Structure 1
């Protein structure tokens, strides 16, 4: 239990490394993307916006992040409300399929989750950042090996941002906060739909 609290404390310091990231702004054109989700389903932004009133796109760091899991569970709990407003929910993460499976077990997420292996989506939405070696070593000391979690050695994580994209392909809502403990509320997302 002590290790978990120390990990949470250490995660608090990662916000200092995010100064270069800005995210996209409300009114910006949403970068289009195509990917395959955790269920093997093709997820194409243009196609989804033809079939749905909006897309709720959010970025999370990994199954090891308690704040990510809480946010994902809240979105899952509100999925019927979001869907009733015509929204399609997509999560984007750098974590491996095994990590995504753990996230689903912890949160019961039933919406699309995309592993962004080359960080293309994260880069397009300007949410990617690289952890410094000292932070990676500290995480490892607390039992979190990002090489295993993300299946790579470059230690790229996203700012846990949320975007609502409307049918015209414009960003209608942005929650971008370098403090990873702050997440978009369901009520704010619902108001943007």
Structure 2
């Protein structure tokens, strides 16, 4: 129990670091990107928008984050409802392929999850932030090593944000909240599709 309380405290401290990030806004043109998903398939936002009415794009921190796993599981559990509205779901994370596989094992995610190896997608959507050294050290003390999880030393994470992008490439819904506990509900996503 003590470990959980300390973890929640650490996550709260981290949420204060990201208040400067703004994310993109409704009506903005969504930056195009390409990436490779967990199955080795090239995922292109441009191509997804050509073949689907919309894309649900979300950013998550890693397999170590229980709130991320809960959100991914909810998306997976409602995937039929989302795809029934001709939406294509894409997750973006800085974590390595091996850790994406752990996320999938924990959540049974069946949609595309793309590793943002160089943080380019997070930067394009203005959801990236760098964890300070003190917080990184505290996380590491609790068994969360971003360097191992992400395969680099940048200590970059995304604000957990969700965007719905319409066929024209415009962002028509944004959930952006530095509070790591708050995520876009499937009910809201379905109402915006």
Per-residue Cα deviation, 1:60-100 (whole angstroms, up to 9, x for no partner): 00000000000000000000000000000000000011110
Give the Cα separation in 1 of the matches to 2:7 and 2:97.
23
Which residue of structure 2 lines up, in the alignment, with residue 84 of structure 1? 84
C-alpha separation in 1, matches of 2:126 and 2:21:
6
Any residues of structure 2 matched to 1:146-165 within 5 Å, and which? 146-165=146-165
1:134 aligns with 2:145: no
Gaps of 5+ in 2: none
Q: Name the stretch that deviates more: 8-17 or 181-190.
A: 8-17
Matching of residues 1-193 of structure 1 within 5 Å: 2-193=2-193
Task: Tell me which moved more, 2-11 or 113-122.
Answer: 2-11
| Unmatched segments (≥5 aa) in structure 1 | none
> How far apart, in 2, do the equivalents of 1:5 and 1:110 lie?
31
Q: Secondary structure at the match of 2:24?
A: coil
Equivalent-residue separation in structure 2 for 1:145 and 1:155 (angstroms): 9
Q: 1:35-76: per-residue Cα shift (whole Å, max 9, x none)?
A: 111111111111111100000000000000000000000000
Alignment TM-score, normalising by the size of structure 1: 0.98
SS state of the match for residue 129, structure 2?
Answer: strand
- For residues 8-51 of structure 1, what are the alpha-carbon distances to aligned partners after superposition, in whole Å with 9 as ceiling and x for unaligned? 32111101111221000000000001111111111111111110
